[in-house]
Amino acid sequence: MTKKINIYQVAYKNLLRKKTRTGLTILGIGLSAWVLISLLGFNRGYEAALNKDIDNMGFQVLVTAKGCPYEAATLMLKGGTGLRYMKESILADILKHKEVERLTPQLMAAIFDPNKGESGGINAYLGVDPVTFPAMKSYLKFKQGGWFTDPTALEAVVGYEAAELEQREVGDKMLIPEKNIEFKVVGILARSGTADDGTIFMPLKTVQKIFDKEGLITAAGIKVNKDANMTELENKLYDLPDVQVVSMAQVKNTIMSLVSTAKVMVFSIALIAILIAMLGVINTILMSVLERYQEIGIIKSMGAMPWDVFRMIWTETVILCLLGGVIGIGIAFALSKITDILIRRLLPYTPTGSLISIDSQLGFITLGVVLGIGLLSGIYPAWRAARVRPLESIRSEGD
Amino acid sequence: MSRENNLALEAQHLTKIYKRGAEEIVAVDDVSLTVRKGEFVSFIGPSGSGKTTLINILGCLDNTTSGSLKISGETVFSENKCLSESDLTKIRRQVFGYIFQKFYLVPTLTVYENVLLPFAFFKKAEANADPMEILRFLGIDKRTSHRPSELSGGEMQRVAIARALINKPEILLADEPTGNLDSKRSVEIGEILKRLNEKEGLTVLLVTHNPALAGIAHRTISLHDGKIA
């Protein structure tokens, strides 16, 4: 049998007196911890998922000739006109910048197809470099076939939507109207949910040759180094003659500003949840102190100093918050997928990756925050208990 | 040994006045008394006679309004000396053990843990190394793993006595210790106090309404309206 007992054991056992009340308080703290860690995880996860989505676009910056439409849909809207060209030599100038990790040239070409639809339509072809483009757009998966067999081959890779529309399969031959040149479909892309789904890709050199644009490109996609200063790079690129710079950072900022409104709302809810949990802790411990008023007086008559009593009561709040925190963090880990679904329903736009990024580091941070709140909440009840005078409790039973 | 060294307590002209609004209530009125080491003194008197207030002052649970108090020759209170709560605690933990009418056992601790509870806050160098010795002395050594709710009133009071004794006090203060017990258990508790005084040489101050219980002491002090009658 143990011959020792310490303040911490006493504090722990004190919490067992009113198990339901203690349990409910722990549950309240747990829920707050769950909300808190999920929000911190969301804060981190959302941005990471958005970055990943933008990374999946293959490039964060697109440099085009000034006024040139930079994707097929815009080109269609302009009736296939308005294309502007840059010399291929510009690639070397762009690559000089330390912020640039990788670069891929593109040449867009458009031609009127009288057989398209009822009264004809525009066919757009995107000439891409067979080496750098697939490497940069590694997320593109094939439904059928694969990339071009040769950099000058008369071959095409068709986006998912374009293939559906044209009813094309690998091995089919397609004709470029006016040019009367046939090319072979060597790959059909799987759906990516991006503009690539509606694009017909051909080797850059082939497109340059067919459309007499040798040495010219319409755009250069740039993948930027991770830690690079995007704004600085944009400013440098604008120094190049007659170019326009389209940055995905702008897109990201727009989305983030949309989401920040939702974030403020959700953080407000978290703050309210934490305040409620805090009040719950104060209430539980204060009630417990008042119920044990006489007992605390007797403990002081046994020789407990005010600091001893303060420590004992404070320990009770720490135990509550520790247990609640651990349970809440456990729930957050276990239910992160469900939380993900719930948040997706709340937000106007969500990236494709995991929205909640919770790891052990975040778990410890949350536990620290919950413990901090617990320590703060415990101050008043502990101070009240420390001030109990033994005489006050004893007087109630004497004459 | 000099007379002073032989004294556990020496009170001179102790007066305690409470203020209730504009009204002043004299709870203890100019009481002087001495208690020898190893003496068993009981205080008896009707409700409101000031016996609990007096024993609270003697036990350093309360300050006096005027008068002086010496414990084992050391001045605790005097005309110009009023101690802080912390100073009173330091004296209490060294000198006194207390038992009250209510037992104030911690319901979630076992008998054994309740007895050890004072050690969570303070342990005197000469404290009892073996709590089982006290539990055996009090006849509750078979109940160590029980919780207070599983004990009778008499057993609970014995646990409270064991808890008061664990730090080897010089003086045991018992304020109406049998107030919640039937007559049979009251006699048992009285016998325990007597044995502690006789066998252990413990100084015992007992407050009671019960003349029969008061009678087991070496000396009985009657109080009336805050004065020694």
Where residue B62 sits, what CATH number does that domain have?
Answer: 3.40.50.300
The verdict on residue B2 lying in a domain is no
Mark yes or no for CB contact A294/B108 under 8 Å.
no
Residues in chain A whose Cβ is within 8 Å of chain B = 1, 3-7, 9-10, 13-14, 16-17, 294-295, 298-306, 308, 389-391, 394-395, 397-399
pLDDT for the residue A271:
83
Q: Does B112 touch chain A (CB under 8 A)?
A: yes
Average pLDDT over residues B152-173: 90
Of the candidates B47, B62, B89, the beta carbon closest to that of A300 is on B89
Q: Which residue in B61, B104, B109 is closest to A391 by CB distance?
A: B61
Distance from CA of A385 to the nearest CA of B (A): 14
- Asked, for residue B162, whether it belongs to a domain, the answer is yes
Kindly state the DSSP code that residue A145 receives in the 8-state scheme. E
Residue B223 confidence (pLDDT): 92
Is residue A60 situated within a structural domain? Answer: no
The secondary element (H helix, E strand) that includes residue B3 is: none
Number of domains chain B is built from: 1
Question: Is residue B216 within 8 Å of residue B181, measured between CB atoms?
Answer: no
- On whether both A131 and A179 belong to a single domain, the answer is yes
Query: Does B81 have pLDDT greater than 60?
Result: yes
The per-residue pLDDT for A274 is: 82
Residues from chain A contacting residue B104 (CB–CB below 8 Å): 294-295, 298
Q: What is the pLDDT along chain A (399 residues), one digit of tens a residue?
A: 546 788 888 888 888 888 898 999 899 889 889 888 888 888 788 777 777 766 666 777 888 888 776 665 555 555 556 778 889 988 988 988 888 888 999 998 888 888 777 777 778 899 999 999 988 887 788 999 999 999 999 999 999 988 988 888 999 999 888 888 999 999 999 987 777 888 899 999 999 999 999 999 988 888 888 777 777 888 888 888 888 888 776 666 776 676 677 678 777 877 888 888 888 889 888 988 888 888 888 888 888 889 999 999 999 999 999 999 999 999 999 988 888 888 778 766 677 777 888 889 999 999 999 999 888 989 999 999 998 888 776 665 444
Residue A120 and residue A231 in one domain: yes
Interface check for B142 against chain A (CB to CB < 8 A): the answer is: no
The last residue of a domain, from among A198, A216, A241: A241
Subunit contact B120:A13, Cβ cutoff 8 A: no
Farthest-apart Cα atoms in chain B, separation: 54
pLDDT at B10 over 90: yes
CB contact under 8 A, B85 and A303: no
**pLDDT tens digits, one per residue of A118-132:** 777 778 899 999 999
CB contact under 8 A, A294 and B104: yes
Does some domain include residue A45?
yes
Binned at pLDDT 50, 70 and 90, residue B23 comes out as confident
**Interface probe with B: pick from A298, A308, A383, A389, most Cβ of B within 10 Å:** A298
Do A36 and A117 share a domain, yes or no?
no
Residue A2 forms part of a structural domain: no
pLDDT at B82 over 80: no
* Higher per-residue pLDDT: B202 or A139: B202
* Strand partners of residue B66: B15
Spell out which residues of chain A touch residue B167, defining contact as CB-CB under 8 Å.
302-303
Question: Buried b vs exposed e over B29-64: b needs ≥16 C-beta within 10 Å?
Answer: bebebbbbbbbbbbbbbeebbbbbbbbbbbbbbbbb
Q: Domain range for residue A209?
A: 67-241
**A398:B56 CB<8 A:** yes
Closest CA to B39 of B222, B227, B228, B218: B218
| ipTM surpassing 0.90 | no
pTM over 0.90: no
The pair of structure tokens assigned to A381 is: 């009840």
A293 to chain B: nearest residue by CA? B104
- Which 10-39 residues of chain B touch chain A by CB within 8 A? none
Q: Are residues A20 and A144 in the same domain?
A: no
Q: How many domains does chain A have?
A: 2
Which of A241, A276, A294 is the C-terminal boundary of a domain?
A241
Query: What gap in Å lies between CA B116 and CA A63, rounded to an integer?
Result: 79
